[in-house]
């Protein structure tokens, strides 16, 4: 085992991965681990989530008749010990341990040595993996390390199989209820039906769906298969004079894979059972890809790539012919592995009530868009078997980041009540629209909005925005198939400027890179958030930058409410270079236009740590600063804003973040500049109080959050806010600060809708 541990590990994980259903996953695991470690027994005890009991769930070496029939309490036996202490237990003589629990019948008494390791996924103990042996000896360190490694790798697969199993219970067709944890993306409760969207030709993202007419679906599949065959023959003909005979034979191999009827027959069978052709192709091809990936022989292993390619080709034909309009039910909840802005754009807004993305976190741009549109959203629901839930009823709890699948009538009623309460509260807040944002001791602080979509304009004005603190210009860029021309940009910008006139509109120059890729300008990097993004891209492409600022300034003629803001500035030379380009664009327009356009106010975003320390130098060169707390938090804390796995340490109330925010405002004021903040933090009522107390001159947030923030500020005095700030600046952790602020809001009678995390009824 020692020699080839990595290989053994890889093979086990692969095999377990392709096992599919939970019981098969467990059975394969125990069989392979037993063989690899060379022990006499391997078993898994799964933890039952509500009672916390450990159920004897799979075994090789003990009495299988007891599988699923016996269990022990969380604090019982050696298994309970491993689970509660969350660490391995390695014993030479198990029976002598005080926690040993004799379970008659399963046949453990013969085995003296015991090694148990916990199976942990996302900090939750899922179960315990145990190996046992007759010979009285301690398992050696290497065996222990192997078991810990395998258990860490398999926990995700087991969690996923458990989740899928909860949806498809074993008696076929009966669907259970289940809940899945994700990250809160946009607040609110949504009740609706899942529509699964997937990127084209991705075998792994095809939703399961029933076909309408089996005969038609079969014919359709065979037409597409023929088309792929013809494509491959054409490719072979085209390359025939460039390739040697041997190389040409590769195309024959390709064709033979398609001619090999077993694949087509398997796909036909699934279609005959009612699955639509795309789903059947995806399931069969994935199964074959996995089989080949597990082959020892490296030549055969490589064939997995060919099968993947063939599968994608067939899928592409099936999808291309299926381009009819997708039907979005009235209450559509859009679900996808990685939702994008353009997927959103396809759904009629009146039908869209919620979003669930398997990847990403609360600070992903799709979540920010969702917040600005007021659509409850769950991000990072990593265990959700998203391809399996098409058409099902689901509930989103956007406050706690939970997705409830196929809810029971009781659960449905509870969430319906919360939904109704939300409607009531937002009606109450509507009354605030025309009232000023002013504290009880007459401190006035303007509330601006962050915009991007066309739809944001009306929503913002409806909610009483006093200006735009951040117009994300990349949003209209994202929704196109090429860079918009100067004239097109000018029209888009003019619409924003006119809609809010005479209120100020702060337009940020193109901020792509990071997680914002334009489909027509792909940036592929290993570390995109530390790479070519924001101002770095546009300084390298002055032709893009100049066109953009010219379009902004042209759009501003006769209006004069434009402000320009520069993203991701991290040094003075970078800022000076950007300013030079803006002045140049202005000079060009002075020569070109009859009337001299006004030079707009220019500002810098403070969103990288270097900018915090150079706030004064930046402030001296521009008219205003605006903190981008989303990125600033990610860079200060070294936590990827998109990674659901570390979402809980992306702490917006982290003392280091608060100190940085305080420093920026003090330094900016020392240079006599106005300092704003346009990150999501400004839209959090508790944070808004602290930011106001720090001295921020303007808070810019999504339109959805604006009424809540206004209501909180109108209920507090600046003196009290400053007291609170003083208290929290002495606190040493984000959770303490958050708790303190929550308590204060509650005492002030400020109602925040928060749903309880509901146990499944």
Return the active site residues. Answer: 365, 678
607 binding ligand PEP? (CB under 6 A) = yes
Least distance between ligand PEP and beta carbon 611 (Å): 11
Percent composition of the chain: helix, strand, coil (DSSP 3-state, to 5): 50, 15, 35
Least distance between ligand PEP and beta carbon 635 (Å): 9
Q: Which does 629 bind (CB under 5 to 8 A by kind): ligand PEP, Mg ion, none?
A: ligand PEP
Phi/psi at 389 (5° precision): -115, 10
Largest Cα separation within the chain, whole Å, is 97
Assess whether the previous peptide bond of 502 is cis (omega < 30° from 0). Answer: yes
Q: Which of 187, 279, 362, 628 binds ligand PEP (CB under 6 A)?
A: 628
451 binding ligand PEP? (CB under 6 A) = no
Nearest to 331 by CA among 196, 195, 197, 192: 192
Ranked by CB distance to ligand PEP, the top (closest) residue is 628
563 binding ligand PEP? (CB under 6 A) = no
List the structure tokens of 356. Answer: 């669930």
Q: In what order do the strands lie in the sheet with 178-181?
A: 178-181, 402-405, 393-397, 189-196, 332-336, 352-357, 377-379, 183-186
Q: Which of 275, 466, 631, 684 binds ligand PEP (CB under 6 A)?
A: 631
> 133: which strand partners?
113
Query: Residues 530, 535, 539, 544: what is their CA dihedral angle, to the nearest 10 degrees?
Result: 120
554 binding ligand PEP? (CB under 6 A) = no
Q: Among residues 659 and 726, whose Cβ is nearest to ligand PEP? A: 659
Site track 641-680 with ligand PEP (rule: CB under 6 A), x = hit = -------------------------------------xx-
474 binding Mg ion? (CB under 5 A) = no
Q: Both ends of the chain: CA-CA distance in Å?
A: 46
Q: Which does 112 bind (CB under 5 to 8 A by kind): ligand PEP, Mg ion, none?
A: none
Window contacting Mg ion (CB under 5 A); options: 44-52, 163-171, 606-614, 652-660:
606-614
Least distance between ligand PEP and beta carbon 476 (Å): 14
Task: Give SS3 for 336.
Answer: strand
Q: Among residues 61 and 603, whose Cβ is nearest to ligand PEP? A: 603
Q: Which does 371 bind (CB under 5 to 8 A by kind): Mg ion, ligand PEP, none?
A: none
Integer Cα distance of 212 and 277 in angstroms? 11
Least distance between ligand PEP and beta carbon 631 (Å): 3
Integer Cα distance of 578 and 569 in angstroms? 9
108 binding ligand PEP? (CB under 6 A) = no
DSSP assignment string, 433-455: TTS--B-TT--B--EEEEE-STH
Q: Among residues 207 and 567, whose Cβ is nearest to Mg ion? A: 567
Least distance between ligand PEP and beta carbon 293 (Å): 38
Q: Which of residues 488-517 bind ligand PEP (CB under 6 A)?
A: 511
Integer Cα distance of 339 and 332 in angstroms? 14
Least distance between ligand PEP and beta carbon 628 (Å): 3
Residue reference for tokens 């087509």: 264
476 binding ligand PEP? (CB under 6 A) = no
472 binding ligand PEP? (CB under 6 A) = yes
Q: Among residues 466 and 511, whose Cβ is nearest to ligand PEP? A: 511
Integer Cα distance of 745 and 459 in angstroms? 26
Per residue, the 3-state secondary structure of 734-748, as one string, reads HHHHHHHHHHHHHHC
Site track 323-362 with ligand PEP (rule: CB under 6 A), x = hit = ----------------------------------------
Pairing verdict, β 468-472 and 505-508: parallel
460 binding ligand PEP? (CB under 6 A) = no
631 binding Mg ion? (CB under 5 A) = yes
Integer Cα distance of 375 and 385 in angstroms? 22
Nearest to 506 by CA among 466, 542, 558, 543: 466
Give the total of residues touching ligand PEP (CB under 6 A). Answer: 11
Q: Among residues 463 and 533, whose Cβ is nearest to ligand PEP? A: 533
Q: Which does 217 bind (CB under 5 to 8 A by kind): ligand PEP, Mg ion, none?
A: none
> 393: which strand partners?
193
Give the total of residues touching Mg ion (CB under 5 A). Answer: 3
Least distance between ligand PEP and beta carbon 630 (Å): 3
Integer Cα distance of 448 and 433 in angstroms? 13
Window contacting Mg ion (CB under 5 A); options: 162-170, 222-230, 522-530, 603-611:
603-611
Integer Cα distance of 293 and 271 in angstroms? 25
- Can you give the binding site for ligand PEP, defined by CB under 6 A? 368, 470, 472, 511, 607, 628-631, 678-679
């Amino acid at each position: 085992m020692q020699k080839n541990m990595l290989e053994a590990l890889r093979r086990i994980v692969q095999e377990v991965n392709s096992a599919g259903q939970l019981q098969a996953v467990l059975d394969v695991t125990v069989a392979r681990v037993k063989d690899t470690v060379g022990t006499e027994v391997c078993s898994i005890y799964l933890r039952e989530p509500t009672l916390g009991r450990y159920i004897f769930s799979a075994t090789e070496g003990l009495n299988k008749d007891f599988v699923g029939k016996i269990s022990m309490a969380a604090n019982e036996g050696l298994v309970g010990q491993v689970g509660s202490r969350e660490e391995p237990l390695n014993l030479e003589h198990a029976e002598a341990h005080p926690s040993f629990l004799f379970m008659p019948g399963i046949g453990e008494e013969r085995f003296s040595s015991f090694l148990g390791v916990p199976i942990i996924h996302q900090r939750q103990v899922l179960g315990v993996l145990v190996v046992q042996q007759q010979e009285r000896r301690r398992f050696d360190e290497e065996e222990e390390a192997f078991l810990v490694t395998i258990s860490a790798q398999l926990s995700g697969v087991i969690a996923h199989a458990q989740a899928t199993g909860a949806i498809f219970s074993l008696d076929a067709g009966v669907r259970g209820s289940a809940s899945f944890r994700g990250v809160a993306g946009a607040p609110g409760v949504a009740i609706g039906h899942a529509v699964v969207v997937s990127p084209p030709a991705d075998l792994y993202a095809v939703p399961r769906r029933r076909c309408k007419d089996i005969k038609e679906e079969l014919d359709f599949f065979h037409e597409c298969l023929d088309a792929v065959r013809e494509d491959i023959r054409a490719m072979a003909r085209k390359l025939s004079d460039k390739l040697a005979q041997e190389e040409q034979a590769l195309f024959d191999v390709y064709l033979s894979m398609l001619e090999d009827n077993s694949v087509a027959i398997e796909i036909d069978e699934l279609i005959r059972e009612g699955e639509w052709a795309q789903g059947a192709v995806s399931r069969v091809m994935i199964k074959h890809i996995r089989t080949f990936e597990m082959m020892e022989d490296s030549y055969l292993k490589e064939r997995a790539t060919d099968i993947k390619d063939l599968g994608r080709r067939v899928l592409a034909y099936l999808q291309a012919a299926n381009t009819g309009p997708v039907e979005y039910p009235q209450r559509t909840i859009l679900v996808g592995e990685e939702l994008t802005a353009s997927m959103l754009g396809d759904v009629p807004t009146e039908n869209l009530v919620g979003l669930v993305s398997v990847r990403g976190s609360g600070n992903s741009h799709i979540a920010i868009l969702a917040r600005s549109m007021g659509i409850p959203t769950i991000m990072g629901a990593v265990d959700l078997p998203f391809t399996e839930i098409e058409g099902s009823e689901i509930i989103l709890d956007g406050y706690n980041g939970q997705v409830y699948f196929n809810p029971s009538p009781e659960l449905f009623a509870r969430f319906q009540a919360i939904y109704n309460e939300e409607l009531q509260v937002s009606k109450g807040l509507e009354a605030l629209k025309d009232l000023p944002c002013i504290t009880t001791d007459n401190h006035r602080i303007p509330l601006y909005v962050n915009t991007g979509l066309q739809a944001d304009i009306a929503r913002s004005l409806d909610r009483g925005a006093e200006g735009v603190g951040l117009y994300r210009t990349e949003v209209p860029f994202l929704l196109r198939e090429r860079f918009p021309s100067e004239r097109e940009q000018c029209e888009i910008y003019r619409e924003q400027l006119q809609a809010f006139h005479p209120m100020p509109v702060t337009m940020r120059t193109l901020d792509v890179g990071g997680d914002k890729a334009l489909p027509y300008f792909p940036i592929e990097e290993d570390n995109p958030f530390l790479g070519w993004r924001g101002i770095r891209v546009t300084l390298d492409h002055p032709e893009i930058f100049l066109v953009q600022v010219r379009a902004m300034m042209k759009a501003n003629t006769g209006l004069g409410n434009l402000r320009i803001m520069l993203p991701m500035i991290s040094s003075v030379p970078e800022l000076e270079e950007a300013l030079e380009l803006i002045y140049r664009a202005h000079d060009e327009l002075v020569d070109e236009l009859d009337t001299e356009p006004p030079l707009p106010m220019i500002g810098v975003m403070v969103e990288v740590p270097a900018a915090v320390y150079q706030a004064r130098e930046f402030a001296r060169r521009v008219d205003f600063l605006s903190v981008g707390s989303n990125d600033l938090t990610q860079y200060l804390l070294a936590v990827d804003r998109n990674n659901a796995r570390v979402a809980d340490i992306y702490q917006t109330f982290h003392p280091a973040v608060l100190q940085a925010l305080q420093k920026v405002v003090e330094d900016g004021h020392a240079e006599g500049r106005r300092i704003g903040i346009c990150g999501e933090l400004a839209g959090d009522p508790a944070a808004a109080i602290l930011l106001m107390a720090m001295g921020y001159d303007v808070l810019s947030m999504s339109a959805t959050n604006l009424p809540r923030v206004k209501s909180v500020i109108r209920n507090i005095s600046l003196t009290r806010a400053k007291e609170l700030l003083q208290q929290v600046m002495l606190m040493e952790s984000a959770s303490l600060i958050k708790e303190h602020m929550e308590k204060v809001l509650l005492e002030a009678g400020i109602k925040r809708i928060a749903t309880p995390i509901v146990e499944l009824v």
